[in-house]
Structure 1
């Protein structure tokens, strides 16, 4: 993975057809996805359950771009090695998930993955500042984590702007997760984000039989940003 700040769209497969993940992953990549975003939830840190390491390992066979795995779990540290073995390229942990985020980020990098740090909507940008030298990505949650299809929290745009100033020339991506669509994407891109996670906004109206809708939806986001 070479670092650049060009716009990247990372469809969240939480919005895909759960019975057909392999074809869904290939479809979004064929239609222009830059990364594939995998939301891992534990029913404890967030009120939902999704994918363990065996599922992520199964997805890996189909991902040819970047597999971006977002852990909405607590604790994180006991599972880092399992997700490394499953093939995650980037592993993101929440700053709120435990008392020792430095140790978590160090362990992620030591396992050979890029290290991401996620911030919930109620967590200020300043929480990331002491950790930026251990980060390859900061994920700004623009909805409360745990469910797809929520409305974008507009106050988070200022947080993105603050993070962009803190990051300076460090090679750290700013990722947006939650409520991304052609209306909100330009706001966060202008504020400094370069990776946009989108679930329902990418998958709506399409299927593995009619994947062209996925491409249309992703182009709509890109065109809104460049307009």
Structure 2
């Protein structure tokens, strides 16, 4: 299975976002990861519905919307209307998981559930019949640039062993080394932000996250 690389625009140059979006094609990034933070569920505030709509009007890339908000059920339809292709919300939010999944799917969007580091993998099992993807956070959600939590590799492995066909996304501290750990444990989608956008060679960085072979000179 080919690894999907999702670029987190939390780390992009927002003043030149259109240029950044254009670069993702050249870097062979597969999808765009759009982090939404409300300052309550996580101690940071990021992007909202108007910005997602603007991004959707500019690009046809797959928009992977990650809701780090307290009440995702309330906003699921609005984010779908703004152009999300998949909406992922946190199991730890205040919204009922099953109702939220059903609301997302009713819009035609794919639905994902995210797990904070302290949440055990078993917590998501009752909802997998309605879930297209499970996001394993390998940092505490809320800020980019954090380091990968090594204990999360086993969490990815447990999910993959229990459900081999499950799409598992990993977000947090992904670089060429941690990407290898996540892929080896069973992850099929990797979100990268700081590592990609701050790299002197982002196309190479994306290739390394994907696990593609590169020349010794390039490495």
TM-score normalised per structure 2: 0.93
Greater Cα offset, 21-30 or 143-152: 21-30
Could you say which residue in structure 2 is the equivalent of 1:22? 18
- Residue aligning to 1:218: 206
Residue 225 of structure 1, CA deviation? 8.1
Write out aligned runs for 1:188-207 (5 A): 188-205=182-199
CA RMSD of aligned residues (A): 1.7
Q: Give the number of aligned pairs.
A: 215
- Mapped contact 1:36–1:63 kept (Cα < 8 A): no
User: Secondary structure at 1:189's aligned position in 2?
Assistant: helix
- TM-score scaled by length of structure 1: 0.90
- Tell me which residue corresponds to 2:48: 52
Matches of 2:138 and 2:147, distance apart in 1:
8
Of stretches 108-117 and 63-72 in structure 1, the one that deviates more from structure 2 is 63-72
Offset, 1:62: 2.8
Alpha-carbon distance in structure 2 between the residues aligned to 1:39 and 1:45: 13
Structure 2 gap segments, 5+ residues each:
none
Q: Unpaired segments of 5 or more residues in structure 1? A: 207-212
- Separation in structure 2 between the aligned mates of residue 80 and residue 59 of structure 1, nearest angstrom: 17
Give 2:81's aligned residue.
85
Partner of 2:30: 34
Q: Secondary structure at the match of 1:193?
A: coil
Measure how far apart 1:98 and its partner are.
Answer: 1.9
1:180 partnered with 2:158: no
